Chains A and B, each alone.
Chain A
Amino acid sequence: MLASVPSEALTGLEGHAVDVEADVVAAAPSFSIVGLPGAAVQESRERVRAAIVNSSYEFPSRRITVNLAPADLRKEGPSFDLPVALALLQATGQVRRRGAGTDEPRGRCADDERRRGRIAAVGELGLDGSVRSVTGALAIAEGLRRHGATGLVLPAANASEAALVAGLDVYPVRDLREAAAVLAADGDGAGRAAAPDVADLLSAPPPDDTDWSDIAGQSQVKRALEVAVAGAHNVLLSGPPGAGKTMFARRLPGVMPPLTLDEAIAVTRVHSVAGLLPAGAALVTRRALRAPHHTISSVGLVGGGATPRPGEVSLAHLGVLFLDEFPEFGMSALEGLRQPLEDGDVTISRALTSVCFPARIMLVAAMNPCPCGYLGDRERACACPAFRVRQYRSRLSGPLLDRIDLRIEVPRLAPDERRRLDLDETSAVVRARVTAARERQLARLRGTGAYANAHMTVRHLRRLCRLEPDAVSLLDRAYERLRISARACDRVVKVAQTIADLEGAASITVAHVGESLSYRFHGDDLPLG
């Protein structure tokens, strides 16, 4: 007998409809899976066999052929265990779908037609018949809804993220028997996962273990970082060890505006595919801070692999990617960052597929001013020979530095400044100012596709940014005297625009340009973009 259960395969974040067909005939017993299955899918035979027997069903001693259609799409991962087992149980008549055979279109018809009104399944099986969580449940659910399925049987641990998708009934199950019962009843009377209260999740207060006010003094650095966050500008922090570069970076997500629902779903999708969503969690509600070690490979940072997986830059989507010891990172890893910094996404091409992951990040790079770390320090002398300093800095390529709008020096604090503890602003205060500035930017950038000043194109810049006459003349003088490039000039204007937005000013004044120029040239003899 023949039976099929709809399921879904993911390449990257994109879902593809997969029909799991099972055929059972009387012949010498065997169990084969065809349809370009990967290693984990081949192994699912053993899990399915054990799960069926241990759920007190009968495993047929006949020739079993399971086909994962379409046959030209490579299927990876263990998420087909459950649909394979369910198709087998149906093919052997141990589970009967109510009304099956009447509403199921037969013969040649469009794939979407075949799955219209049907209940799909994904899940990994344990040998005891328990259903284990899968990765990418949100993207799978979105794909299934697009392909016309009305219901989805999936592991209970994944139910709340999948329930974010409207128009798809989500049936959480704990074991194979529960899944079979849902299918047999065609969903009637089965428990459905309630859509999570997203407003409630998103408005949850951030944990107060880190706060902007933890950092004493450093008011100039704080101001510069506030500007950077407000316009989503990339920054390079430079300072001696222990000055607080890492401490600042850790507190940046806390001063960024809260995620909107669409943003939260985009972030959740990536984390779910990477398997980083905690079991039972519905939504990533906080902006990410990813701080990979400098020995990270290019694939780890940008994403890739035989079956493409998101890298750190995608996991930091709409959040902060913090690269400490920036010059120590591998050349290929850093150069791989150029495309995501420019386009806001990463495209990974393979022979069979091409995958796109989102990667709209704020890059926070940190470095010491020289290999020993004390160049330019108030008290300690630098022990580095000049050529070592040059060598150290030359590891950063011009094109990459060019994508960094602000260079901020983080000095070691003077003793009296370190002791001040009371005057500092909390994250909430800074966040309110940043959010207000972002709203001004959103209003001005409406229709351009950008949401922050850092992502403005040159055309937007010319059209949308208004400079006062003396601001223009200051910029001209800087262009002449400091010999900065035209492109660098545009970046100065972008940052000046953000400073104006923080202030609520209608146009860019000479003070805004002046402050912006100071962030541009703090890194003295670093190569200029």
Chain B
Amino acid sequence: MGHEIRDDSDRPVSAPTRRGVANVRLGRAAEEAAARYLEARGWRLLGRNVRVGRGELDIIARRGPVLAFVEVKARRTHTCGSPEDAVSPAKRRQVARLAELWLGARPWALGGVRDVRFDIVAVDLTTFPAAVRHLAAAFTSD
């Protein structure tokens, strides 16, 4: 049975909205802030925006015996809850799944590791200067 392969490369792509562009820029800035925050506290960054299959892990960091997969979330306002709340169960599952895939491809990354954690770094812009909060072991993969 043959599939008709549709070439939709010339399909009109919606132009980036102003709000969309702003959100992407906010996200990038927040990731930068989170990375600096972690490095200042002795974390060695093993990777940023690591693509695993279709998804992306924001930050992979190591400090001593602890390996952390860090999800970064930023919020300008609390109208939709705090940035920590914005990491939905679906997102948690995705991060956990991507981490398993990433670890599966690099078993050596667990050398000397005692704890593996899923952390959240929340960048909260409701205050000035922005507050950065680090939630260690924010969720697990079960």
Chain A interfacial positions (CB closer than 8 Å to B): 26-32, 45, 60-63
Contact = CB atoms under 8 A, between A and B. Distances in A.
B100 interface: yes
B70 interface: no
Interface of B: 66, 69, 96, 99-100, 103, 110, 113-118, 136-137, 140-142
A327 B100 CA distance: 66
B137 A61 contact: yes
A28 B114 contact: no
Contacts of A28: 69, 96, 99-100, 103, 116, 118, 140-141
Nearest to B112: A26
Given A28-B118, A62-B116, A63-B116, 14 more contacts: A26-B110, A26-B113, A26-B114, A27-B110, A28-B100, A28-B141, A29-B118, A29-B141, A30-B142, A31-B140, A32-B142, A60-B115, A61-B115, A61-B116
Interface of B is mostly: mixed
Contact of A30 (B110, B115, B140): B140
A29 B118 CA distance: 8
Contacts of B100: 28
A71 B134 CA distance: 40
Given A31-B142, A32-B142, A26 B115 contact: yes
14 contacts: A26-B114, A26-B115, A27-B103, A27-B110, A28-B69, A28-B99, A29-B116, A29-B117, A29-B140, A29-B141, A30-B140, A61-B117, A61-B140, A63-B116
A62 B103 contact: no
A61 to B, nearest CB: 4
A28 B118 CA distance: 8
A140 to B, nearest CB: 29
Nearest to B67: A26
A63 B100 CA distance: 12
Contacts of B113: 26
Residue picked from A27, A45, A62, A63, most chain B C-beta under 10 Å: A27
A305 to B, nearest CB: 29
Contacts of A32: 142
A181 to B, nearest CB: 25
A389 to B, nearest CB: 65
**Top 7 closest pairs, chain A to chain B, by CB:** A30-B142, A61-B115, A29-B140, A30-B141, A61-B117, A61-B137, A26-B113
A289 B66 CA distance: 62
Nearest to B140: A29
A109 B22 CA distance: 65
Nearest to A32: B142
A313 to B, nearest CB: 43
A26 B114 CA distance: 5
Contacts of A30: 96, 140-142
Contacts of B115: 26, 29, 60-62
A177 B113 CA distance: 28
A60 B100 CA distance: 18
B113 to A, nearest CB: 5
A63 B117 CA distance: 10
A28 B69 CA distance: 9
A55 B110 CA distance: 29
Nearest to B98: A28
A30 B141 CA distance: 5
Nearest to B110: A26
Nearest to B96: A28
B69 to A, nearest CB: 8
A28 B114 CA distance: 11
Nearest to B100: A28
A62 B142 contact: no
Nearest to B117: A61
A63 B140 CA distance: 9
